[in-house]
Amino acid sequence: MSSLPEFPSIPAALSHWAQRRPDAVAFTFVQAGGAIEQVTYAQLEENALRVALSLRESTRPGDRALLILPPGLDFLTAFLGCLHSGVVAVPLYPPRPGARLDRIESVVRSCQPAHAVTTDLFVEQLTAFFGGNATASMRIHPFKSLLHDEPGSAGVAAVRPGPGGEDLAFLQYTSGSTGQPKGVMVSHRNLVQNEEAIAEGFGIRPDDTVLSWLPMYHDMGLIGTALLPVYRGIPSVLLDTFAFVHDPMLWPLAVDRFGATCSGGPNFAYQLLVERYDRARLTDIDLSRWRIAFNGAEPVRAETMRDFATCYGVHGFDRDAFFPCYGLAEATLFVAGAEPGTGYRSRQVSRRELERGRLVELPEETSEAGTSLVSSGRPARHTEIVIRGGDDDRVLPDGEIGEICVRGPGVAQGYWDDATATRQTFHADVPGREGRYLRTGDLGFTWQGELYPVSRSKDLLIVAGRNFYPHDVETVALTACADLRGGAAAAFQPDPDAPPVTLVAEVARASLARLRDPAAAAAVRTEVLRAVGVECDLQLAEVVLVYPGSLPKTSSGKIRRSETRARHLTGRLRVLGHSENPQPRPAPPTADQLDALHRRDRDTRRQLVRQLLAALVSAAGQQLTVQDWSRPLAALGLDSLRTATVKVRCEQQLGRSLDSRLFTSDRSLEEIAEAVVVLTGQPPEPAQPEPTTGSPDRVAPATDGQVQMQFYDEFHPQDTANNLTSAVRLSRGYDPDLLRAAVSAAVARHPALRTVLGSPGSGTQIVRDSPQLDWSQVALTDIDESVDSFLREVADRRFCLTEGPLVRAAAVLTPETTVFMLVCHHAIVDHWSLRVIFMEILAELPGVRLGGELPATDRGDYVQRQRWLSASTDDESARRRLTALAERWHPLRDHLLFPAVRTGGTPGRNPAATIDFEVDGADRLYQRAQLRGHTPFVSLVAAYLRALHRTTGEQRIVIGTPHHGRDDWRFADTVGYLVNMLPLAGRFEGEERPEQIEDRSRAELRDALADADLPFARLVKALSPERHGQTPLFQATFTFQQSTDGLLDDGFSIPSSGCRQRLGEVEVSVVDVPPRDVAFTVSLYGTRHADRLTFRLVYQRERIDAATAARIVAEFQSALKEIASPGPAPAVEEAGR
């Protein structure tokens, strides 16, 4: 290597080669479609200088510039331009769907960049995203705007002399697999010293060709495969990273095509090539020139390299080409590597002894469970590696495991603007050694001068005094089941101070559809539990199956275990629908423990109340962490129905009523617990008489909502807007008598389904003793077009509210399938009740298994509930609250959102039209809502209000949304019509940030929930608005369906979702029977289905036209996008400025 020149900086090296070999091709970039783009050393130098001159015009040396560009020559040019100009480059992933926007935001806040360089396509997107998160002085440049006029001699002189060795070259932001991003300060001296070390370690020769698919935003891709060729003056071929991810076979094909001699990546990439091996595509390729196949950035697996050599050896790959290496961003990149041309060395050690922190090598023939540890070779030149451990942090001898510590010229200067972390990581003392060492955070040992990394120390699993290495657990799990995606698992302890271990694993895409079946998912989980138990002697507490691509990764492709843990604990992983959690939920206190609670001391009451709340919140879908106790229920992702469920279950357990406002306010869970502790210190309320079933008097007051519906039906005698319909297709032919019996049993079981209303004006409802059912059926040899007309006819028949029955069912029967439909009048059931009834009927059918218990709907009597509600809303307190509420809404009592003039003439009806659409990015919306401390419903309401404002131009917008009406614990599970409409107002004055609209919507919703028990019809009566042929106060509604039981996919609530679900032996798919009529001018219905939001807009087509409805949808989608990427725009540097 001594014959090759050494340079003080990368720009100096580039200038040297541009003068010596101006026309030689420096880089060949292979685009995603296969097209080739090339650049010579002279062209690369010239373009880099043009960028440097542009940056020099508006920056000072040391300013930071984000480089947010797709992989390719533009990125490399921009980076080299920064190095020339003295501007500190900050390379980051470009924003794209599902990309790391959270990472970009944290980096911007950390380094306060003066510039961001991107493409024309991304300027608008980045401008919208950065907004208030960026500094006011940050300017966004399209890359092409930086290509200054030809530099000329004066321009070149302007960027001479080059940077000094101690000057910062770039910030390498890295989270690794265990933490939040931190900016590693890499100097120009660090960079060139590490390039020298890599060139020497790899044994780079002048005739070598480097080929890389690695992202340039990561240290291995940037330093090891992009800058190394610049430094050493050898050609490099760059593949599009995203093309490789889409088709990994492009890598070996390119190695053959370009005759590459040096190429590599993390272990997962080799594993991917093993899994995707396609011999037919690789016919006649020659990999014999591939002499350096480096493998690093994550634990190197002997099994992976063995399998790779077996597959690709037939194509000329030499197993001695493997070059295991070790490095990290804090050491610039390269720390240690194998001897070139010798392949890899591994040691088989006892897994049991490794768990105890000891190394015991196993003989070749042994039955004991072992694990292979691969050598990462010897330290790079001028680099020292020590293993520090023991109580006194001494240097450990060969064969003892401790923390890997490094000293050498590649060790970076520290973390940007983080002196504490810099001291802790870069300034470690080692007894008996001079100087400061870098603490890598990795565990390992040395043997005969070679380094053997074992694991990240922060990731180490400690159970019962034994050390378990997560990658061992992950490897065993992934090897045990072909349905799991290779290299995509994370083992961790949810509570660092507690022993249970959780494993999260991505399922293979090919197995995704099959694993939606709960039985299939359970079989995978059982196999993983068994394998880890046998191979590792570790009992996993939880196995979570998630969708492909769900696990967060570093820029080098390593799984970020700590971030995975955080997302798991906060419910932000895309969990496969039927991957059940084998970890038992926290158990609530027993009845004996809660008996006579007021006689116990405060500490005991606090312990029992906290135990009860933890169990109830867990049952509602949120496992609590210590930090969660300081957050309100909304910030834990619990919507109003889940919150009400927690409240009523708490009341049922305690046998006393609790104030709803305690749970719907911004109080933290800890504050809720303390309030309940205080309440339980008082004697319990006098026992209320239990609701009675089978009372001889089955006449009860009608609810105000029922009276309102009866008035609507009288006023619109041809209308069917209040017909609620639910239909599914079952993958089995059923006996019609069996279906009819299941429906009849539900009618007999629920008084609401036997209810009719009294004559108009009587204000009564009557529950009949004898069940009645309107049943229709048709038998066909196969499903054809006649099915739709049959279902349509049944669904669109008017009900007679006074005669009944107000429920009907229909079935289409074929030998192989059954279509079943249930139709109820809204006056007797709400959407929650219809869903429960439907599940009860399905559960009666042979072969159907719901995978859980149905709600206990026999707790509260329907008639008794109506009598109680009538009494409770007539007391003095309710009247005072109603008066105050009417005063608040009085200024909007005659508000009209849409013109009162009808555009059609269908008498007695409000004919409906629909628009179905979906919105991607549900995870992002939910995550952002949780970070802001409210539910996703608040964001959706804010988006809908803004959409209506932008469509109509109205400054004041009022919408209605249904409240479940299940706040009273005695009637929380009652089937019937319990909902109450709540008005929500939006106020718009000029352009406002999405957060402002969300905050107002959140406050509006909180106030509305405080009076949710006051019937909307009474508010309208108190307001006495003008009658204009439309619903008073609001003409637009929003309903978001989200269940709490997890039994039936929420996609079934929006028929256009195409939802299908396997329930035991039967596949159930939704059948769409669109509504014929609609009561409100515009009604938006939505739910979350898989990883997207599914919506249906239903509108009165004779009151607004299709263009107006389409604009509402477009504005809603736009508003949701704004909410997901909030912020005003900073200054944008346009091309040519």
pTM (two decimals) = 0.50
In degrees and rounded to multiples of 5, residue 223 shows phi and psi of: -80, -40
DSSP class of residue 1044 equals: S
Farthest CA pair distance, the chain: 106
**Contact (Cβ atoms closer than 8 angstroms) between residue 345 and residue 190:** no
Q: Which CATH architecture does the domain made up of 10-246 adopt?
A: 3-Layer(aba) Sandwich (3.40)
DSSP class of residue 633 equals: T
Closest CA to 432 of 463, 395, 457: 395
Output the pLDDT for position 1062. 85
Reduce the DSSP state of residue 958 to 3 states and report it: strand
Which residues on neighbouring strands pair with residue 553, listed in sequence order? Answer: 559
The CATH 3.30.559.10 portion of the chain extends over 699-864
HSE of 978, CA atoms in CB hemisphere, 13 A: 26
For residue 237, the surrounding DSSP H or E stretch is strand 236-239
Distance CA 888, CA 897 (A): 19
What is the rounded end-to-end Cα distance, in angstroms, of the chain?
46
**Contact (Cβ atoms closer than 8 angstroms) between residue 99 and residue 93:** yes
Buried b / exposed e over 665-701, threshold 16 CB at 10 Å, is bebbbeebbbbbbebbeeeeeeeeeebeeeeeebebb
Output the pLDDT for position 1137. 27
Q: How many CB atoms lie within 10 A of CB 424?
A: 12
In degrees and rounded to multiples of 5, residue 185 shows phi and psi of: -90, 105
Q: What sign for the dihedral angle of Cα 685, 686, 692, 697?
A: negative
Output the pLDDT for position 500. 72
Reduce the DSSP state of residue 495 to 3 states and report it: coil
* Residue spans of beta strands (DSSP E) within 521-568: 542-546
Distance CA 383, CA 449 (A): 13
Q: How far is CA 28 from CA 49, 81, 207, in A?
A: 20, 19, 16
Tokens of 683: 């004697």
Distance CA 54, CA 52 (A): 5
Helix ranges, 175-327 (H): 188-202, 219, 228-232, 241-246, 250-258, 267-275, 302-312
Output the pLDDT for position 897. 86
**Contact (Cβ atoms closer than 8 angstroms) between residue 1093 and residue 1119:** no
Amino acid (1-letter code) at residue 143: F
**Contact (Cβ atoms closer than 8 angstroms) between residue 676 and residue 598:** no
Distance CA 147, CA 143 (A): 7
Q: Per the omega criterion (within 30 degrees of 0), is the bond before 911 cis?
A: no
In degrees and rounded to multiples of 5, residue 337 shows phi and psi of: -155, 160
Amino acid (1-letter code) at residue 297: A
HSE of 53, CA atoms in CB hemisphere, 13 A: 19
Output the pLDDT for position 1136. 31
HSE of 722, CA atoms in CB hemisphere, 13 A: 27
In degrees and rounded to multiples of 5, residue 694 shows phi and psi of: 80, 25
Distance CA 144, CA 155 (A): 18
Reduce the DSSP state of residue 430 to 3 states and report it: coil
- Would strands 450-456 and 438-447 be described as parallel, antiparallel, or unpaired? antiparallel
Helix ranges, 220-341 (H): 228-232, 241-246, 250-258, 267-275, 302-312
**Contact (Cβ atoms closer than 8 angstroms) between residue 1127 and residue 959:** no
In the chain, count of helices (H) and strands (E)? 34, 41
Distance CA 443, CA 65 (A): 35
What's 591-680's CATH class? mainly alpha
**Contact (Cβ atoms closer than 8 angstroms) between residue 41 and residue 14:** yes
Calculate ∠ Cα 282-284-286, nearest 5°. 90
**Contact (Cβ atoms closer than 8 angstroms) between residue 1099 and residue 1080:** no
| Residue whose pair of structure tokens reads 């001494």 in the numeric block | 394
Distance CA 842, CA 850 (A): 8
The CATH 3.30.559.30 portion of the chain extends over 865-900+909-1043+1050-1059+1075-1124
What's 865-900+909-1043+1050-1059+1075-1124's CATH class? alpha beta
Contacts of 102 (CB under 8 A, 6+ apart): none
Closest CA to 133 of 105, 157, 159, 110: 105
For domain 461-569, the question of CATH label 3.30.300.30 is answered with: yes
| Residue whose pair of structure tokens reads 């050498």 in the numeric block | 408
Contacts of 207 (CB under 8 A, 6+ apart): 234, 261
What's domain 699-864's superfamily in CATH? Chloramphenicol acetyltransferase-like domain (3.30.559.10)
Output the pLDDT for position 542. 84
* Parts of the chain with a pLDDT under 50: 1-2, 97-100, 132-136, 176-179, 464-465, 497-498, 577-584, 687-697, 1127-1137
Tokens of 972: 């929380």
Q: What is the pLDDT of residues 620-636, one digit of tens each?
A: 656 666 667 777 776 66
Calculate ∠ Cα 450-452-458, nearest 5°. 140
For residue 521, the surrounding DSSP H or E stretch is helix 518-536
Average pLDDT, the chain: 83
**DSSP per-residue string spanning 632-665:** -TGGGT--HHHHHHHHHHHHHHHTS---HHHHHS
Contacts of 679 (CB under 8 A, 6+ apart): 656, 658
SS (H, E, C) 809-856: EEEEECCCCEEEEEEEECCCCCHHHHHHHHHHHHHCCCCECCCCCCCC
Output the pLDDT for position 326. 94
Tokens of 1010: 């405080």
The CATH 3.40.50.12780 portion of the chain extends over 10-246
**Contact (Cβ atoms closer than 8 angstroms) between residue 465 and residue 524:** no
